[in-house]
Amino acid sequence: MRYISTRGETSPLSFQDAVITGLAPDGGLLLPEEIPDVRSRLGEWRELGFVDLALKILPLYIDDIPLEDLEPLVRSAYATFSHPEVVPLIPVGDINVVELFHGPTLAFKDVALQLLGQLFEYILSRRGEHLNILGATSGDTGSAAIYGVRGLPEIDIFVMFPDGRVSELQELQMTTVADANVHCLAVEGSFDDCQNLMKTLFADLPFKSTYRLGAVNSVNWARVLAQIVYYGYASLKLYAGAPVTFYVPTGNFGNVFAGYLAKRMGFPIERLVLATNENDILSAFFSTGVYQRGEVRFTVTPAMDIQVASNFERYLYYLLDEDSERLRRFMNDFSSTGRAVLDSPGRDEDFAAIAIGVEDTLSVIRRTYESHGYLLDPHTAVGLAAAEQIAAAGPKICLATAHPAKFPEAVNKAVGADVAHHAALELLRGLPTRRTVIPATLNAVRDFVANHARL
């Protein structure tokens, strides 16, 4: 399997090179040259556990790591999860919640980043190379990435997050990690500022090469690949003649894009309902075909306070019939004016979209706890609110993206009681922290990386 850039100006790469490269040199995102069709194999896969299903799906996309090497990497990655099923399905009324937060940082990002850490270590140790990872986070990616690579001698990690715009516990999960290879940068701006700074540095090819920059954000193909597995797993567990519909809280489009690929592979998925918060650039596109940047609104769902969705370009590539030239024009329009338009906003058979406001989010948390005794984090509540409002013929599955204890202020406010706790998070309070505050400028990030990166 080879990997190509959405922008069509990068030579095809092997899987290992795609992992190390992250963002394509032409500024595009990497995708497999073809999407495997697995429909003939679904019957034999229905009873598999999550890890065993991963060991069926991942080799379809990874042909340069022998299975005897890949299997221990996968098993080690998911041995860090506290639940025996890794991603259990929990019925909540007539909706099934797939809990993706049983990894070490209590967020869905662990599903991909625990595996990505294993892949980085495998590839770099065999090549005798060092990598300096540069990432941007709206909350959970940063800590999940740090926990995936902390202490590894082959890697230094630099994580940018918007100062004061992530939850207290999300910041503590990053800044209390004492390993010398971890660098936390509190940027005086929004997540979109952090993401733009990251992409701009990756586009500076001499700098990227000199300082051996790699990516852990969902621009890295391996992130998306790992997430395909839980869509396949959950859809097979609940399929009983009618395909399932997934309700996905999303900001950066990476999570829901993995579901789109799972659907194209042939898993029994009817539609994907994309649920955003009041930063509704994505839901507006699926209604109008207009992709237009607005001012970031800060809400109780900070991981979704995003106006530029990095992974949306991958979907656009398929929506534009894999025409890289048309895609480049679209992205250039958006980059230069903050607005780009398509005649057709998307395929209704694949996606529906809805924006959920703060009051509805808090209301769903309260009602779900009162009716079912089940506690939602605010992001998962956005998905559940979408499931209440958009019908489906078959089973409904909502992705639970984080443990509610990561957002105690919003959850406790919604419920009216102090209920959002997790022992692992409470242990972080009072620990020493390390972080560096920097302005949201390219020179500030460039200088910090240049002064602290190992080559």
Give the residue numbers marked as catalytic: 109
Please tell me the distance from the alpha carbon of residue 25 to that of residue 11, in angstroms, as a whole number. Answer: 9
Nearest 10 degrees: Cα torsion 209, 214, 219, 223? 150
Query: Do 445 and 160 meet the contact criterion of CB atoms below 8 Å apart?
Result: yes
Per-state percent for the chain, helix, strand, coil, to nearest 5: 45, 15, 35
Please tell me the distance from the alpha carbon of residue 99 to that of residue 113, in angstroms, as a whole number. Answer: 16
Query: Do 158 and 125 meet the contact criterion of CB atoms below 8 Å apart?
Result: no
Distant-in-sequence, close-in-space partners of 194: CB < 8 Å, separation ≥ 6: 136, 137, 160, 161, 162, 187, 440
* Amino acid of residue 142: G
Please tell me the distance from the alpha carbon of residue 297 to that of residue 279, in angstroms, as a whole number. Answer: 6
Partners of 249 in beta bridges: 275
Q: Which residues of 184-196 are buried (b: 16+ CB within 10 A; e: fewer)?
A: bbbbebbbbbbbb
